[in-house]
Amino acid sequence: MKQNSVQSKTILITGSKLGEEAKKILTKNNFQIIYTEDYASSSEIAFISKQKQIDGLIVRKGIIDREVINSSNKLKIIVKHGVGYNNIDIDAATNLNIPVLITVGANSQSVAEHVLTLMLVLFKRILLNHKGLTCNRNWNRDINQGEELYKKNVGIIGFGRIGSKIVDLLKPLQMNILVFDPFLSIKDIPKSVKLVDNLELLLKESDIISVNCPLNKDTFHLLGKNEFLLMKKNSYIINTSRGEVIDENALIDALQENRIAGAGIDVFEMEPPNFIHNKLLQLNNVVTTPHIAGITKESFDRMGVSAANMIVGFFKNGLEKIEDKAIVNLRK
């Protein structure tokens, strides 16, 4: 094979959609694109992968377990269409020397804006007033009175690209910002932000908390019954990271017992959630969205282009020469 040329390769997208620009990048470089159904099971993904003997995998939805990773003898690279890679068996990929990459930064602006949106919807009681007006024809302007975000205390758990963009968006509101991130020091954060050295302090002082940390063994159920007991009764929590960072049953109990004021939830422990039995979908003090914080028209295109460029770069020139790469495993 000549340098900078690519023989025909097959790329599987776990999900039924990829941005148009990303598709153009792959097809013009001689890649065949195939898709799974949305939220296909691991077995279904593995079946397609084995049948087509895929060369690369772009992960949007579904669980990429050991069965999937072992299903194609030709699989050489896995790219996450996003940043959260908890649905990929990293150990299985590493054992086969398959690099796993993520599209860092492509959706951080979108997530940060979603966090701000949920804050405003919760504090201004937008949904309660909307339902009262459209469903109950209620023009009582006093029963669901909103609050200002101005100079409130906001706690951010996890201060990466998303956390820093949230801070930028909140500057005009002059909010007091607390950050808990055990991997950072004072020199890593803006002077306007207070870095706290324990989660307990952040929970006690914050009027609203935004969860923006990755899911791993240390953050699984990071927030549970004891943590909700520490929060102010008039405080809110927003989760746009991963559902399993919060003990969902403990959150439901805290909301039902009015131990906290409300929640903005974009992610669930089980996705899609059980639409009949999951009480987060039934409570009036909860605003929910279907894991869309990082998926705007702009960010979806950016993630797709980033993933496509990583795939093309890998097969053209190898892993080390991929520009703007973020490798999860196989770090030297």
pLDDT tens, residue by residue, 115-164: 999 999 999 999 999 988 888 888 988 888 899 999 999 999 999 999 99
Residue reference for tokens 């992610």: 267
R_g of the chain computed on alpha carbons: 22
What is the overall mean pLDDT for the chain? 94
Question: Among 247, 242, 232, 288, which Cα is nearest to 265's?
Answer: 288
**Over 70: is that where the pLDDT of 35 sits?**
yes
Question: Kind of pairing, strands 208-211 and 286-288?
Answer: unpaired
Residue reference for tokens 């996890």: 158
Q: What is the mean pLDDT of residues 15-32?
A: 96
* Banded pLDDT at 105 (limits 50, 70, 90): confident
Instruction: Say what the pLDDT of residue 300 is.
Output: 95
* Banded pLDDT at 1 (limits 50, 70, 90): very low
**Over 70: is that where the pLDDT of 332 sits?**
no
Per the document, the length of the chain is: 332
Q: What is the rounded distance in angstroms from the CA atom of residue 250 to the CA atom of residue 235? A: 16
* Banded pLDDT at 286 (limits 50, 70, 90): very high
**Over 70: is that where the pLDDT of 103 sits?**
yes
**Over 60: is that where the pLDDT of 294 sits?**
yes
Instruction: Say what the pLDDT of residue 331 is.
Output: 59
Q: What is the mean pLDDT of residues 97-126?
A: 96
C-alpha dihedral, 92 to 157 to 61 to 58, nearest 10°? -60
Instruction: Give per-residue pLDDT as tens, 211-246.
Output: 999 999 999 999 999 999 999 999 999 999 999 999
Q: Could you tell me how far CA 132 lies from the centroid of its own chain?
A: 31
For residues 294 and 81, the answer to whether their CB atoms sit within 8 Å is: no
* Banded pLDDT at 265 (limits 50, 70, 90): very high
Q: Please give the residue that has the higher pLDDT: either 70 or 321.
A: 70
How many CA atoms does the CB half-sphere of 299 hold within 13 Å?
A: 20
* Banded pLDDT at 3 (limits 50, 70, 90): very low
Instruction: Say what the pLDDT of residue 5 is.
Output: 59
Tokens of 171: 């500057």
Buried b (16+ CB within 10 A) or exposed e, 142-172: eebeeeebeebbbbbbbbbbbbbbbbebbee
Q: What is the rounded distance in angstroms from the CA atom of residue 11 to the CA atom of residue 9? A: 7
Could you check whether the bond before residue 214 is cis, i.e. omega within 30 degrees of 0? no
Question: DSSP H helical segments within the chain, as ranges?
Answer: 20-28, 42-52, 66-69, 90-95, 108-123, 126-134, 161-170, 199-205, 225-230, 248-256, 297-317
* Banded pLDDT at 330 (limits 50, 70, 90): confident
Which positions are catalytic? 242, 271, 291
Tokens of 103: 């599209």
